[in-house]
Chains A and B, each alone.
Chain A
Amino acid sequence: MLLYALKRLVYMLPVALGVSLVCFMLVHITPGDPLTAVIPVDASAEVQAEMRAIYGFDKPLPVQYAIWLGKVMLGDLGTSIATGRAVLGEVMRAVGNTLMLAAVATMIGFFFGCLFGFVAGYFRNSPIDRIASLLSVLGVSVPHYWLGMVMVIIFSVQLNWLPATGAGPGGSTDWTWDWVHIRHLILPAITMSVIPMGVIARTVRALVAEILSQEFVHALAAKGLMDRGIFRHVVKNTAPTALAVMGLQLGYLLGGSILIETVFSWPGTGFLLNLAIFQRDLPLLQGTILVLAMFFVMLNLLVDVLQTALDPRIQRG
């Protein structure tokens, strides 16, 4: 088991290195370099050259990459051009908020996804199955940024039950687990949970339907096992895959939260990305993307190893 985890870790390293290279190149596929946006247009050629030398943009790309990677390893993601603060600090503050939102959304999505999936798979090819399956198709098809707007229209504008934007009263970003703050979390979390709900429901339905059609289930029934006992077997067979899908969904939500965060003005990484893109703050963009992508790579590794640990049938080389 440990050997397998180590093998996966070794296999992950080149991917992580490649991901860092893509993040590094993000800054260099743009016309000009990151300084073009901040150097005054009328600056003399010497001043421009000097600035480039200070930031290291005069060196060849592979050298720049090596220097950049060395700094990243030590936790130095550079300085934000827009705010003048260290990128790492900015990203870490925002990641906490995004992670909380994505985790709550994943849990809601997992609960309802499993519920719909089990019901649909158990009553497969019945009207109940069709309704549950329709709900999961709706979940994967809905543009969630629009769903967010609709939620705001219904629950904030019309009913005035919940706040429309922000993560705390008066736009504060310091989170505490009290009702005043949780109120702000409800709408974005429910909106975000629709995607994992749809995906998990589809996966679970397919798994349950397949397991129920297998011979061992008929054997259990023939043996005289009650439905509840059979249900326990089905859960045990479904759990590893469902949990793996849930883990990956958490990663997708972390990376894809920008749309929801924009709708709800949630102070997370999406907000940071928006800021970085529209201020042309390339170091901030690069740093945020790198942190989120690395999260995803590690989450993949974790899910893979955990799935193997949970499901003894999986023997991987």
Chain B
Amino acid sequence: MNEKAVIAPIQTSEGYWRGVLRRLSRDPVAMIAFAIILALILMAVFAPYIAPADPIRGSMLRRLRPIGTPGYPLGADELGRDMLSRLIYGGRLSLFMGLTPVLMAFVIGSGLGIFAGYVGGKINTVIMRTIDIFYAFPSVLLAVALSGALGAGITNALVSLTIVFVPQITRVAEAVTTQVRNRDYVEAARASGASGFTIVRVHVLGNVLSPIFVYATSLISVAMILASGLSFLGLGVKPPEPEWGLMLNTLRTAIYVNPMVAALPGAMIFITSISFNLLSDSLRSAMDVRQ
């Protein structure tokens, strides 16, 4: 349902979205953040064509080479693998692990929240009180608890992170839907005989999806940090796959030998997370969503 749901408001209120894009394009911070994110995504997608070396195969003779070594522009890691290539390839899993949970939580959370907000009554109470329970855990703790119990691995980490973000999005979705549901135009539509489904599709979705979307984008930065954090703890991606959080973990002991190289993967996470944060902030003011 959400493929359609996301597209619907664009078709019905083109003027609004054009205005948002215009405001965004005049915001230099947003444009820089967007350019960085685009570059990171392109880098991840075209990794095999850009990376100068194999990210997995290393050489024990060339362990922990410093930045600027000929043939190793960003040095070599603790197993003598080319850092530049590993950072480029690492973007694939790191971006995937950060974006997927937010996307899944956006789909599940908005579905659940809009449903709860629209039907109201007892069903709303049951859904929202259940959500409250998961909301009662600090995010990091819940993510670590779930993936710790499920065991390390990409799928388990994705499931855990999705469960962490669903309650947060559901709460926002429920709140805005409850507001919209009590508006006069919804009442008017109901009075003129529109079915519940039509009301949700035409009147509710178009008005609630943008605030939920903006909120979801603000979670991406947290998700990136958390996803890499799980790998950093050894709960996400497993070696020898390149992933920024995992690389940071395996390079931890190298800080005494080659600190600059050891700090590189974290810098990548930082750049990604701050770009998403800045873009989300700009998007919020461009869409004039107040929360």
Interface residues of A (CB under 8 A from B): 14-16, 18-19, 21-23, 26-27, 29-30, 137-138, 140-147, 149-150, 152-153, 157-158, 251-252, 254-256, 258-259, 262-263, 273-274, 276-278, 282, 285, 289, 292-293, 296-297, 300
Asked if B140 and A256 sit within 8 Å, CB to CB, the answer is: yes
Asked if B266 and A150 sit within 8 Å, CB to CB, the answer is: yes
For B259, what are the chain A residues with a Cβ–Cβ distance below 8 Å?
A: 153, 157-158
The smallest C-beta distance from B196 to any residue of chain A, in angstroms, reads 29
Asked if B141 and A292 sit within 8 Å, CB to CB, the answer is: yes
Given contacts A142-B270, A149-B266, contact A29 B149 (CB under 8 A): yes
Asked if B150 and A149 sit within 8 Å, CB to CB, the answer is: no
**Bound complex: CA A21 to CA B132 (Å):** 13
Asked if B270 and A141 sit within 8 Å, CB to CB, the answer is: yes
Interface residues of B (CB under 8 A from A): 129-130, 132-134, 136-141, 144-146, 148-151, 221, 225, 228-229, 232-235, 245, 248, 252, 255-256, 259, 262-263, 265-267, 269-270, 273-274, 277-278, 281
For A256, what are the chain B residues with a Cβ–Cβ distance below 8 Å?
A: 138-141
**Bound complex: CA A217 to CA B138 (Å):** 37
Given contacts A22-B134, A141-B270, A141-B277, contact A255 B149 (CB under 8 A): no
Asked if A145 and B145 sit within 8 Å, CB to CB, the answer is: no
Asked if B229 and A18 sit within 8 Å, CB to CB, the answer is: no
> Which single residue of chain A is at the shortest CB-CB distance from B145?
A289
For A149, what are the chain B residues with a Cβ–Cβ distance below 8 Å?
A: 248, 252, 255, 262-263, 266
Asked if B132 and A296 sit within 8 Å, CB to CB, the answer is: no
Of the candidates A140, A143, A145, A262, the one having the most CB atoms from chain B within 10 angstroms of its own CB is: A143
A157-B259, A258-B140, A296-B138 are known; give 6 further A-B pairs, CB within 8 A.
A138-B274, A143-B270, A146-B270, A277-B235, A285-B149, A292-B138
The smallest C-beta distance from B284 to any residue of chain A, in angstroms, reads 12
Given contacts A14-B129, A18-B133, A296-B136, contact A143 B256 (CB under 8 A): no
Set A137, A143, A157, A252: member contacting B138, Cβ < 8 A: A252
For A153, what are the chain B residues with a Cβ–Cβ distance below 8 Å?
A: 255, 259, 262-263
**Bound complex: CA A14 to CA B129 (Å):** 9
Asked if A297 and B221 sit within 8 Å, CB to CB, the answer is: no
For A144, what are the chain B residues with a Cβ–Cβ distance below 8 Å?
A: 225
